[in-house]
Amino acid sequence: MLMRAALLTGFHAPMEIREVEIADPGPGEVRVQIKASGVCGSDLKAVDGKSPVVSRLPFILGHESAGIVESVGEGVTAVKPGDHVIISMSGPCGKCRQCGAGRFHLCSGPARITAIMGGEPRVSTGDQEVRRFIGIGSFAEYAVVRESTCVKIAKDAPFDAMCLLACGVITGVGAVMNVARVTPGSSVLVVGCGGVGLNVIQGAVLAGATTIIAADVAEQKLKLAERFGATASLLVEDLPRQVGELVRGGVEYAFDVTGVPGVLAQAFAATQPGGTTVMVGSPPHGQPAEIDPALLFSSRRLMGTQGGDAAPHRDLPMLAEQYLRGRLDLNGLITERLPLDQVDQAMTHVRDGAVARSVIVFP
């Protein structure tokens, strides 16, 4: 079947909108008509040649998506044509050691590893294979994905909001709920108030934190952070000092969403004894963070997360329900909705920090 897709054919270059061939779903696979796809910082890294999973071009980027099941392959029982679904970033195999321990986000099954590196050959242009970002490639009209990645949602849930759950929302809220396990009445620092950082703030609100400090270098992002639940905001200068002036002794939980090693060190130093710091942003490979080891003697913890350590079939329906009940603001995250032809414009807006989230929408 022919479809339109945005192809990355060269690093540091605009994507090309082309007509490509997408295969029918094989055993255990589902073909989804993409209705909305968020634009993520991971897509920018791929364009810049900095993604460890995007090397051999051409590639279809996009992974934060929702749509309608168009057809299913042999043996598929979880979904059927016409179902509305979110495509999860991870489709755990349920069989490997990590899945057996409940660490679905760390699935090491062969199918998951293949997906991370571009997926099975399902899309082509002429006689050339087109690889797909983490086996999805949602900057396209259709995607063929594994059954385990499809999470059903209510048919009255809007696709442009639901697609955001797949990456930015589940990463931010999951960092709070699954990793740090923020407790009611606690104090929280969130450094970096872009799309993911705003969802860390929303997660802190859901967890019942009463002091939520947003920190960033851009005043416009701090204003948005206050709209999403921050109780105080800081323009970043000297975080340990600034935070100490607001919360004596430091915060109980800190989240670094910038991916900058020096900022991570400051966030860690801004916690109180016994505090927890979670690295949510992805730092450049090979750049060390200098942490004062003396701080560890007072039982401070430094943790990382991958996609909010989520179990997609548990967490995505829960988040969708929170949205439908009015407890999670997804509409406010969407700064713009653009057609596929304007995907490069959306990427530019994300790069410039001019948007919370850009969403590519399909008719």
* CA–CA distance, 210 with 350 (Å, rounded to integer): 30
- With H, G, I as helix, E, B as strand and everything else as coil, classify residue 79: coil
Place of tokens 């799309």: 195
Considering the domain boundaries, does residue 10 fall inside one? yes
Indicate whether 13 and 67 sit together in one domain: yes
Look at residue 290 in the predicted model and tell me its pLDDT. Answer: 86
- What tens-digit pLDDT sequence spans the chain (363 residues)? 999 999 999 999 999 999 999 999 999 999 999 999 999 988 999 999 988 888 889 999 999 999 999 999 999 999 999 999 999 988 787 888 888 888 888 887 888 788 887 888 999 999 899 999 999 999 999 999 999 999 999 999 999 999 999 999 999 999 999 999 999 999 999 999 998 999 999 999 999 999 999 999 999 899 999 999 999 999 999 999 999 999 999 999 999 999 899 999 999 999 999 999 999 998 877 788 888 888 888 999 999 998 999 999 999 999 999 999 999 999 999 999 999 999 999 999 989 888 888 999 998
The number of beta carbons lying within 10 Å of the beta carbon of residue 353 is 14
Helical (H) or strand (E) element with 273:
strand 271-279
Residue 207, domain extent: 172-306
Indicate whether 148 and 176 sit together in one domain: no
Considering the domain boundaries, does residue 317 fall inside one? no
Indicate whether 47 and 145 sit together in one domain: yes
Q: DSSP secondary-structure letter at 61?
A: -
Considering the domain boundaries, does residue 315 fall inside one? no
Indicate whether 18 and 133 sit together in one domain: yes
Residue 133 structure tokens: 């970002």
Look at residue 214 in the predicted model and tell me its pLDDT. Answer: 98
Indicate whether 213 and 82 sit together in one domain: no
* CA–CA distance, 344 with 229 (Å, rounded to integer): 31
- For residue 282, the domain's CATH number is 3.40.50.720
7, 192, 202, 186: CA torsion to nearest 10: 150
Indicate whether 276 and 342 sit together in one domain: no
Indicate whether 15 and 142 sit together in one domain: yes
Look at residue 245 in the predicted model and tell me its pLDDT. Answer: 95
- DSSP H helix total and E strand total for the chain: 11, 18
- For residue 58, the domain's CATH number is 3.90.180.10
Instruction: Count the domains in the chain.
Output: 2
- With H, G, I as helix, E, B as strand and everything else as coil, classify residue 230: coil
Look at residue 87 in the predicted model and tell me its pLDDT. Answer: 97
Look at residue 131 in the predicted model and tell me its pLDDT. Answer: 95
Look at residue 202 in the predicted model and tell me its pLDDT. Answer: 97
Helical (H) or strand (E) element with 324:
helix 312-324
Look at residue 183 in the predicted model and tell me its pLDDT. Answer: 97
Considering the domain boundaries, does residue 239 fall inside one? yes
Indicate whether 300 and 350 sit together in one domain: no
Look at residue 304 in the predicted model and tell me its pLDDT. Answer: 94
Amino acid letter, residue 341: D
Indicate whether 232 and 295 sit together in one domain: yes
Indicate whether 8 and 130 sit together in one domain: yes
> Which residue in 313, 22, 318, 308 sits closest to 150, CA to CA?
313
* pTM score of the predicted model: 0.92
Do 138 and 22 touch, CB atoms closer than 8 A?
Answer: no
